[in-house]
Amino acid sequence: MNKFYHILKTLFLFSWSLFVVFPFLWALTTSFKDANAITSGATYIPWVDYEPSTQGWTSLFTTGSQGINIVGPFIDSAAVTLIASLVSLLLGTLAAYGLSRFEYRLGFVKNADITFFFISQRIMPPIVLAIPFFLMLKELGALDTIFGLVLVYVALLLPIAVWVMTDFFAGIPKELDEMAMTDGCSPIGAFFRVILPNSVPGLVVAGMFCLIFGWNDFFFAFTLTFTETQLLPVSIVSLNSSVTPWWSLSAFALISVAPLACVAVIVERYMSRGTMSGAIR
């Protein structure tokens, strides 16, 4: 019986791993093909099945009509994601700390309600906000700018930061802040000098979620930018609709998912330590 379980488990893990890596491997091998290799049907192994070429990769770094420039969108994507994540993390951490340490009251609205208000924003489908965002950014003259996107992404990411950090602060003893105050800090000073330096694990988890949701967003980038500002997901989709060869598409895709795939390593570390469990309930 035990043996049977073991075989079943191994088989399951093996086939799932295969399923997970398959699209990446396919993209990798496709990125080294040329027109001949593509049109002769699905092939997998370079040199055996087809003669590899590097044009898929070189085209990404050549500008002009021959090439697809990936550098611009990459920088834009990185800028928008990083700035929005930082702003959300800052505002969200402050708010979460406030909610975990002070009592707020506005009529019948109390701390739990405010926390819920923040977190519940995740339920909002992007499409509900797309049109007013569009009109709002147009009024601000921020359509098709990094600034405009950052503004929108902060709304998207702030709930995540508040959510993760509220739970994190609930686990830091209140006595630590109090001690800082008896040692001569103001409440704000206590937060920056003592609580913040001790919040690194929470900040990392919250920051990663912000990066993931920011970097991977497509819809807002798609509806709120056109030519000046181009994020990676939008540019790959516009390539997709044109007659772009698969080799460039594949290389492009691999480059744009690579940075966050690395984040998986960090996420795994925190998950195994159990640091994340508090952030989930």
User: CB neighbours (10 Å) of residue 3?
Assistant: 7
Minimum CB separation of residue 54 from another protein in Å reads 19
User: Does 26 sit near another protein (CB under 8 A)?
Assistant: yes
Separation in Å, CA 116 to CA 11, 26, 89, 123, 279? 42, 43, 18, 11, 15
- Residue from 58, 176, 226, 228 touching another protein (CB under 8 A): that is 176
What's the CA gap between 12 and 224, in Å, rounded?
Answer: 43
Minimum CB separation of residue 67 from another protein in Å reads 18
Minimum CB separation of residue 143 from another protein in Å reads 13
- Residue from 48, 188, 227, 242 touching another protein (CB under 8 A): that is 188
Would you say 115 and 170 are in contact if contact means Cβ atoms under 8 Å apart? Answer: no
Would you say 87 and 73 are in contact if contact means Cβ atoms under 8 Å apart? Answer: no
User: Does 210 sit near another protein (CB under 8 A)?
Assistant: no
What's the CA gap between 120 and 5, in Å, rounded?
Answer: 41
What's the CA gap between 260 and 277, in Å, rounded?
Answer: 21
Sole window of 49-57, 59-67, 140-148, 258-266 interacting with another protein (rule: CB under 8 A): 258-266
Convert residues 218-247 into a mask of x (bound to another protein by CB under 8 A) and - (unbound): xx---x--------xx--xx-xx-----x-
β-strands 105-106, 109-110 pairing: antiparallel
- Residue from 7, 35, 71, 124 touching another protein (CB under 8 A): that is 124
Which positions from 91 through 120 interact with another protein, judged by CB under 8 A?
Answer: 91-92, 94-95, 97-104, 110-112, 114-115, 117-118
3 state DSSP class of 63: coil
What element of type H or E holds 214? helix 200-215
Say how many residues touch another protein, by CB under 8 A.
119
User: Does 216 sit near another protein (CB under 8 A)?
Assistant: yes
Cα dihedral: 205, 209, 211, 213 (round 10): 180
Would you say 275 and 66 are in contact if contact means Cβ atoms under 8 Å apart? Answer: no
Minimum CB separation of residue 36 from another protein in Å reads 12
* Of residues 15, 233, 185, 192, the one with CA closest to residue 94: 192
Minimum CB separation of residue 65 from another protein in Å reads 21
Which positions from 145 through 164 interact with another protein, judged by CB under 8 A?
Answer: 151-152, 154-155, 158-159, 162
Which of 227, 272 has the CB closer to another protein?
Answer: 272
User: Does 35 sit near another protein (CB under 8 A)?
Assistant: no
Which positions from 41 through 80 interact with another protein, judged by CB under 8 A?
Answer: 41-42, 44
User: Does 139 sit near another protein (CB under 8 A)?
Assistant: no
User: Does 257 sit near another protein (CB under 8 A)?
Assistant: yes
In sequence order, the β-bridge partners of residue 50 are 46
Cα 54 to its chain centre, rounded Å, is: 29
User: Does 130 sit near another protein (CB under 8 A)?
Assistant: yes
